[in-house]
Amino acid sequence: MRRSAAEHALVAFSPPVNLVLGAALRRIARQKPEVFERLGRFRSAAFVIAPAELPVAFRLEPDPARGRVRVVRPTDPAPAAARISGPLAELLGLFDGSLDADAAFFSRTIDVEGDTEAVVALHNTLEAAELSLADLLGLPALAQGPLDFGLAVVRRAAHRPARA
Full domain range(s) for residue 129: 2-159
Residues 58-111: pLDDT tens digits? 999 988 788 898 999 988 999 999 999 999 888 888 877 777 888 888 888 899
Q: How many domains does the chain have?
A: 1
Domain at 35, CATH number? 3.30.1050.10
Q: Is residue 123 part of a domain?
A: yes
Q: Is residue 164 part of a domain?
A: no
* Residue 54 main-chain phi, psi, to 5 deg: -105, 150
For residue 123, pLDDT over 50 is answered with yes
Residues in the chain: 164
User: What's the rounded Cα separation, in Å, for the pair 92 and 113?
Assistant: 18
For residue 143, pLDDT over 70 is answered with no
Q: Is residue 114 part of a domain?
A: yes
**Residue 86 in 3-state DSSP?**
strand
